[in-house]
């Protein structure tokens, strides 16, 4: 996961951002280490926050995108799997 100092900085920035729209949010405090969503990374390498595609029957694909910039990678994986296009 994230190093503690990076997690603290990201949490602080998120609180400041939300406080622009909900003024009472400025008093929010970190409640614990993030476990899901964009904060979750495997291991310690933030570059790995990307996209994953799993394939099921009947041309069904399940895509998990954590980083919007990784949607192209997910689309490329589907093209290769279904149409052998690289």
Q: Is the pLDDT of residue 20 over 90?
A: yes
Which residue pairs, CB below 8 angstroms and at least 24 apart, start in 29-35?
Answer: 33/1, 33/2, 33/7, 34/1, 34/2, 34/7
Question: What's residue 5's pLDDT?
Answer: 87
21-39 pLDDT tens trace: 999 999 998 887 665 555 5
pLDDT range class, residue 44, cuts 50, 70, 90:
low
Where exactly are the structural domains of the chain? 1-42, 50-86
50-64 pLDDT tens trace: 677 889 888 898 888
């Amino acid at each position: 996961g994230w190093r503690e100092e990076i997690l603290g900085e990201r949490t602080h920035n998120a609180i400041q951002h939300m406080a622009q729209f909900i003024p009472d949010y400025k008093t929010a405090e970190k409640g614990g280490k993030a476990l899901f969503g964009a904060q979750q990374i495997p291991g310690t390498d933030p570059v790995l926050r990307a996209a994953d595609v799993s394939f099921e029957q009947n041309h069904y694909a399940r895509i998990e995108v954590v980083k919007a910039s990784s949607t192209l990678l997910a689309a490329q994986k589907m093209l290769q799997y279904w149409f052998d296009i690289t």
